[in-house]
Structure 1
Amino acid sequence: MAPCSLCQNLQSRDDPSYARLAFDFKPSQLIESATVSSCLCCSLILEGIQHFADSSWSVDKDVSRAYAYGPSDLGLAETLFVELYFIDERPKLVLEYFHPQSRGLSNGSPPGISTNPGPGDFLFRWPAIQSKPSVNGPIFEPDSLKWVTSHLNECLLQHPICASANKTPELPHRVLAFGPSPDGCIAVKLQENDGPKNALYAALSHCWGSHQNCTTTTKTLEERKQGIPWDEIPQTFRDSISYCLKIGINYLWIDALCIIQDSDSDWQLESAKMADIYENSHITLAATAANCDAAGLVASRQDFKPEYQLTTVPTECSPIRVREKLHHWDVPTTQMSMRRNPLLGRGWAFQERILSPRILHFCSQELVWECGQLTNCECGCIRPNAGIKRQFPADMFRVDLAEANLSDNGNASYEDEDIADRLTKPTDCLPALSGLAKRAAVLFNDYLAGIWSKTIRADILWRVDKLEPGAERPAMYRGPSWSWVSVTSQIKYWSRNELIDYHSADPFLDFTGGGISAYGVTQTICTVDVAGENPFGEVQSAKLVITGKLVIAALGYTFSRVGTWADLQREYDPFQYQLFLQVPGHGLMEFSFFPDYILSDRNDYYIPDGAKIYLLEIFSNLCLVLQDIEAMCRRIPDFAYTPNGF
């Protein structure tokens, strides 16, 4: 019997040019194939779509087209997905068709391969529809807890990368202690440990939100030590405490309650230990989907329609379920990912995530496990590269120099993130990375407001690739202009290969009249004064003295003509600037460069069109652009001459 002309019976075509199952259709075509032609596969697809149609739309009236695709050798899809596109502007709906299986460990199996066969796994099935774990119900249900404890035990017993974190640690100075009380509730108190005490504890990574509902202050410290009433504890903290008890942990560290929030001295002392606290925790609970401490550890799954088991599946076939496709965060992190998972946009969470030996993310639709060796989710579809711990293993920041295999500007990797723009308190920019910096100091020597003395020439060449609205130097001082701390935009570094390419190219900018030396910088002297006790924390002042070669240039705004022919006007582009330079043998030339911020904004850092600026050669054909201010220079941006661009 010939396959269905629309869905090909959910099989790839014989034509080798088609690498996978994929077809698009209009709703009318699907309805006709299912009802008139009696195609079973089209009937299954239609039933799933009709179930998820709500009162605001119907398949035949509101869906303009659909696209179905399935697994392939290219790994582009793990099971059968159907994307629905609507006539109006509502976002597309993606449905996932799968054979349900019990949740368990991945054991490294590719997505869609069942390692926990269910009762229907030995019945007939379509190759396009793969086995996937079912994700239904609350986080405290037995299947969900079993999934977590299985991953925890596997990590403790079978992961060599994570083995160094298996010892019973010393408790932090302050920690929440809790357990069942006689009245059936949970008794919670703040415990201060004056001497060493070893026990397993968890740490919480969470978003504070605009208002903190429960903190420890100098006034409430003694009260907290006597006990914290359950009804005063915000929902995220309650959920975390309850979850700890479910997995056999009686101690939890939460920054809001374990650091005295109105004591600067206590904050300086305890915040300096935060990296060690997360690194030594048995597990970190991450309220990844919650935007504040009142939201709960995980958004309620009742916001999403539960999985639906198709009724048109023949009895000789394995059961098939349909659900909305579960969203996983993107790598690198996108704005959409941060809207769905606010914690990914919190500056402190970057360090907490890297240093914690194992993290359990509570996302809006499911749980995600992340440790040094494995990243997995309940639905089984998250990509392995979604785990940041694989990109930035904690060992990177612990190893001896002889064991290190890092690039000359190794800090560039973790500071490429726009950490500076993800903090509630702007001055936390350096403290939020201080734990990583402390561990990397053995490799890179002195830490200078976010850069390293050993790699200072490469480090000060960070750049803002693209100016966007709001790109500015913050009004509150966070660090010197030569450090990435001084801007609010995402920054990048020149890679080692790019530096070599620029350096090995024929010199174009002749600073000396007789060729450029191998290195423009002959001496650097730097002094940094920190604001507190943490040498890797907040900076009070800093000065960098560089001996090198300077050339004078002029800043130029980029203008365009706007208006009608009768009323033409010039309007400048605040995101594009030029510099003008007299080049021997070529005359006055115009170059693009990388500004650190919007130079034309009328504030303390305003630089007018035509202003005199200086180029300081750092590498051959790579310069800093500087502004003269009171016998000192302020960094504006990077200038890079592309050798093949002239």
Structure 2
Amino acid sequence: MDYKYSGRTSIRVWAPQETTITEDKPGGGSVPVIQLRQAGLRPRIRPYVTSANINGTPFAKYISPSNIFPTKWTYIDQLFGSSSKWAQNQISDCLNSHGECRRISEDVSFTPSRLINVSISELGGDVVLEDDTSISPGSEYVALSYCWGGYDPDCMTTADSLEENMRRIPWSKLPETFKDAVRFTRSLGINYLWIDSICIVQHDKRDWHRQAGLMWDIYKHSHVTLVALYGSSSKSGLRSTSMENEVTKVVEFSLDQHRWPLYARLPHYLEFSLDPDSSKEIEKRSPLLSRAWAYQERMVSPKVLYFTESEIIFQCYSHTNCECGIFRNRGLTVGKPSSIFWDDHRFKNGSQGTPVTTEENQGVWEWVAGTWRRYIVKEYSGLLVTKPEDRLAALGAMAKQFQKLRPNETYLVGLWSGSLIEDLSWKCSDLPLKENRRGWKDTLKRPYSLPTWSWASLQSGVDFPRRILPIGREVVAAVSEASCDYEGHSSLGLLTKSVLKLRGKLTPGMHFYSSTRIYHEKVHMDHDDDGYQCIPQQQKVYLFWMFADFRVSSQERTTRYYLILRREEEDKNIFSRAGVVEYTTTINENTWNMIDTSKTYEDAWRMLDKHSVMTECEIR
């Protein structure tokens, strides 16, 4: 028997004999009641089944083959009770069952410079800031990731309040998110908590640079990181409601004196989806996910507890689960690529312990280089920072992680020396027409004082040409010189000088036609989220050939990738970047059969190469 309710939900119930449907109206609402009459066999029901207490309040249980034992959905006042126990079980299972997670957690020698002690009973609930002179080396601690939201809490550490905070931080000075984090840390049995606004001396440039350089260590070695997805500031708290408030009673089963109400809820909004509207819903409900600093905090942390409005989601290197049990090992929109967790041991020659060259480990190296471009930069580039100078600093922990995977390379304002030609071929994501208010602009806004060849110089999401196998790639341009100098001699400091010189084929103008080949041109002009780069009609544009992708199949296809450059100084080969262009030619099967392959390529690109000159270009 199938019973369809509201034309949207189908519930399949098998009963051996008679089934009747009546209407029940608890609380004034109309809810269908399915009555099952027993006839020697128990009815088999496989829906989202719940039980209810005497008042009809649901204690929801989710039953599936992978979750045999029911898990109760918790109330908000049980956040530090059953939710904490659930989180402890997840962490324990991770450390006991996941080899990769256990191996990374073995190194516990790191201790942050400052931590908040939440366990001193003599303080009567208050907390105190301690430095590494009084913290035992290797002490476990919890880290917090949250939205500042333009709010500076009273407990914030500054040069004036440092001594006071190291004596005592009154409970009344902590905003709600910090209070929840303290309670949850205590419920986990952990003595220490790290919160940036308390553990870093604010408005102290020297301390900020020192601590910013430790972000990888701080989050990498935390016992667990609490991620406050729900709140828009530290005043919001970790959670606002309980799971039973998200469910709706849609039907009820009854058998004799027994009743089983059935409840439904919307899918997890963090579940991976190709629906373009899902990203808007995620940003609306989880403002933290649009913030640049928070990106590396959750990516680097081995174990993460995401606090949504109503429940907790656990994520480690190997596993994902949520309190209600539905999300076990399913894809999250805040997922992590496995390659970022590889340590440099995968690039070492066994017993020798020497770095493996790119040639020896080409496949792994290409995967890591591609992960940086297609995953890290693509996701991070569209995120927001409050201070423009933090644009690259907020990615510093991820850069440090990848530096371990690329020990012989130099990090260059968001790009890497070993794959620089391909890294330079980034393209700005297309602007929706409704957001492209000003159309074309002669000059782009570059608030970060970075060179035009770095994607980080623009507040814009970026992407890269994706290499889809089976495709060959030939890098044509060569790097003559590439270097960056930073204030304080750290890649997290402000950039003071950069040099990029490339040698390759430079072609003036963009007029290339051939009646014997089919060309597909894709032009991607740079933009600053407020309009696209416009080249004045009287100004020459130059194309600089970077690399080519080619595929051999029933149709032979080649795509060339060029930088679009504009000359900055007359009679000097000094340029700035304005965009990228892709030229694709396809040779159909008939042409393939009649014409020699090498001559075909020569003819197809003859017009494009006719006016190119081998040139060394400096790009600023």
Question: How would you bin the TM-score normalised by the shorter chain?
Answer: 0.7 to 0.9
Paired residue for 1:19?
none
Per the TM alignment, residue 352 of structure 1 is displaced from its structure 2 partner at its CA by 1.4
Matched, 1:209 2:209: no
**Aligned residue identity for 1:613:** V
Letter in 1 for 2:93: E
Deviation at 1:495, TM superposition (A): 2.3
Check conservation: 1:420, 1:429, Cα contact below 8 A.
no
Point out where structure 1 has 5 or more consecutive residues left out of the alignment: 8-22, 31-37, 61-77, 82-97, 103-110, 119-131, 504-517, 554-579
Aligned to 1:347: 292
Structure 1 vs Structure 2 CA RMSD = 3.8
CA distance in 2, matches of 1:465, 1:226: 50
The equivalent of 1:93 in structure 2 is none
Please name the residue that 2:69 is paired with: 117
Query: Contact between 2:391 and 2:448, CA under 8 Å: does it hold in 1?
Result: no
The reply on whether 1:607 has 2:552 as its aligned counterpart is no
Candidates 620, 631, 634, aligned match of 2:576:
634
Give how far 1:542 is off.
1.9
Matched, 1:593 2:518: no
SS of the equivalent of 2:219 reads: helix
Instruction: For CA contacts below 8 A with separation 6 or more, give which structure has more relative contact order.
Output: 2
Residue of structure 2 aligned with 1:145, choices 78, 81, 84: 84
CA displacement, residues 220-242 of structure 1 (integer Å, 9 cap, x when unaligned): 11111111111111111111011
Letter in 1 for 2:69: P
Give the secondary structure class of the aligned counterpart of 1:210.
coil
CA distance in 2, matches of 1:136, 1:232: 26
Which whole-Å CA distance do the structure 2 matches of 1:116 and 1:26 have between them? 27
Q: Tell me whether 1:528 sits opposite 2:492 in the alignment.
A: no
Label 1:233 to 1:622 Cα distance change in 2 as closer, same or farther (>3 A).
Answer: same
- Other-structure match for 2:40: none
Instruction: Please state whether the residue corresponding to 1:416 is helix, strand or coil.
Output: helix
Q: Note if 1:407 corresponds to 2:371.
A: no
Match of 1:453 among 401, 409, 417: 417
Letter in 2 for 1:290: G
Q: Taking structure 1 as reference, are residues 527 and 391 closer, same or farther at Cα in structure 2, changes over 3 Å only?
A: closer
What runs of 5+ residues in structure 2 fail to find an aligned partner? Answer: 12-17, 33-45, 50-57, 349-355, 549-559, 588-603, 605-620
CA distance in 2, matches of 1:209, 1:231: 20
> Could you give the per-residue CA deviations for residues 268-299 of structure 1, whole angstroms, max 9, x where no partner exists?
01110011010011111111111111111222
Aligned to 1:396: 342
Greater Cα offset, 165-174 or 383-392: 383-392
Other-structure match for 1:235: 176
Give me the whole-angstrom Cα distance separating, in 2, the residues matched to 1:134 and 1:321. 14
Structure 1 residues 599 and 281: CA distance shift in structure 2, 3 A: closer
- Letter in structure 1 aligned against 2:330: P
Paired residues of 2:31 and 2:251 also in contact (CA < 8 A): no
Query: Contact 1:600–1:608 (CA<8 Å) still a contact in 2?
Result: no
Aligned counterpart for 1:487 among listed residues 455, 458, 474: 458
Q: Which amino acid aligns with 1:446?
A: T
Deviations 1:85-115, CA, capped at 9 Å, x for gaps: xxxxxxxxxxxxx99438xxxxxxxx83264
In the TM superposition, residue 582 of structure 1 has moved relative to its aligned partner by 3.7
Asked if the contact 1:176/1:251 (under 8 Å) is kept, the reply is yes
The reply to whether residue 361 of structure 1 matches residue 306 of structure 2 is yes
Instruction: Specify the alignment match of 2:211 in structure 1.
Output: 270
What letter corresponds to residue 304 of structure 2 in structure 1?
Answer: I
State the match for 1:327 in structure 2: 268
Instruction: Give the aligned residue type for 2:332.
Output: A
Q: Distance in 2 between matches of 1:629 and 1:323?
A: 62
**For residues 136 and 238 of structure 1, what CA distance do their matches in structure 2 show?**
18
Distance 1:100 1:522 in 2: 62
User: C-alpha separation between the residues in 1 aligned to 2:577 and 2:341?
Assistant: 34
CA gap of 1:586–1:312, structure 2 versus 1, over 3 A, is closer
- Note closer, same or farther for the CA distance 1:590–1:286 as it changes in structure 2 (3 Å cut): closer
Alignment map for 1:555-634 (pairs within 5 Å): 580-583=510-513, 591-597=521-527, 601=531, 607-609=535-537, 611-620=539-548, 621-630=560-569, 631=572, 632-634=574-576
Query: Following the alignment from structure 1 to structure 2, what is the Cα–Cα distance between the partners of residues 539 and 357?
Result: 31
**Cα shift at 1:500:** 3.8
For residues 250 and 385 of structure 2, the distance between their equivalents in structure 1, rounded to whole angstroms, comes to 44
Give the conservation status (yes or no) of the 8 Å contact 2:110–2:217.
no
1:374-425 superposed Cα distances (whole Å, 9 cap, x missing partner)? 1001122226221755524552354442487242633212111143532222
What CA distance in whole angstroms lies between the structure 2 residues aligned with 1:52 and 1:345?
A: 41
Partner letter of residue 545 of structure 1? K
The corresponding residue for 2:609 is none
**Of 213, 217, 239, the match for 1:298:** 239
Q: Tell me, in whole angstroms, the C-alpha distance in 2 between the residues paired with 1:499 and 1:160.
A: 34
Deviation at 1:180, TM superposition (A): 5.0
Segments of 4+ moved more than 6 angstroms = 50-53, 584-587
**2:409 aligned with 1:439, yes or no?**
no
Q: 2:562 touches 2:582 (CA, 8 Å); kept in 1?
A: yes
Match of 2:61 in 1: 101
TM-score normalised to structure 2 length: 0.73
Q: Distance in 2 between matches of 1:26 and 1:428?
A: 48
How many residues are aligned here?
Answer: 515
CA distance in 2, matches of 1:491, 1:613: 22
SS in 1 for 2:462: coil
Paired residue type of 2:188? I
Alpha-carbon distance, 1:79 to partner: 5.2
Distance 1:547 1:439, change over 3 A: same
Letter in 2 for 1:614: Y
> Which residue is equivalent to 2:201?
260
Question: What is the CA–CA distance in structure 2 between the aligned matches of 1:493 and 1:26, rounded to whole Å?
Answer: 41
Query: How far apart are the structure 1 equivalents of 2:305 and 2:126?
Result: 24
1:36-115 equivalent positions in 2, closer than 5 A: 40=20, 100-101=60-61, 112-113=64-65, 115=67
Measured at CA, do residues 143 and 156 of structure 1 come closer, stay the same or move farther in structure 2, by a change above 3 Å? same
State whether residues 428 and 538 of structure 1, in contact with CA within 8 Å, keep that contact through their aligned partners in structure 2: no
Could you tell me how far 1:529 is from its partner in structure 2?
A: 1.8
Pair 1:297–1:627, CA change in 2 (3 A):
same
- The answer as to whether partners of 2:447 and 2:457 remain within 8 angstroms in 1 is no
**Residue 315 (structure 1) shift:** 4.8
Query: Once structures 1 and 2 are overlaid, which stretch shifts more, 209-218 or 304-313?
Result: 304-313
CA distance in 2, matches of 1:538, 1:275: 19
The residue identity in structure 1 corresponding to 2:401 is: R
Q: What's the TM-score, normalizing by structure 1?
A: 0.71
Indicate if the aligned counterparts of 2:482 and 2:500 stay in contact, CA closer than 8 A.
yes
- Cα deviation for residue 442 of structure 1 reads 4.0
How many percent of aligned residue pairs carry the same amino acid?
Answer: 26
Q: Distance in 2 between matches of 1:442 and 1:162?
A: 18
Which SS does the other structure have where 2:476 is aligned?
A: coil
Asked if 2 retains the 8 angstrom alpha-carbon contact of 1:400 and 1:442, the reply is no
Query: In structure 1, what is the Cα distance between the partners aligned to 2:538 and 2:256?
Result: 79
Worse-superposed segment, 437-446 or 403-412: 403-412
Alignment of 1:310-321 (within 5 A): 312-315=253-256, 319-321=260-262
Superimposed CA distance per residue, residues 527-581 of structure 1 (whole angstroms, 9 cap, x where no aligned partner): 212234432554333221111111112xxxxxxxxxxxxxxxxxxxxxxxxxx41
Contact 1:479 1:540 in 2 (8 A): no
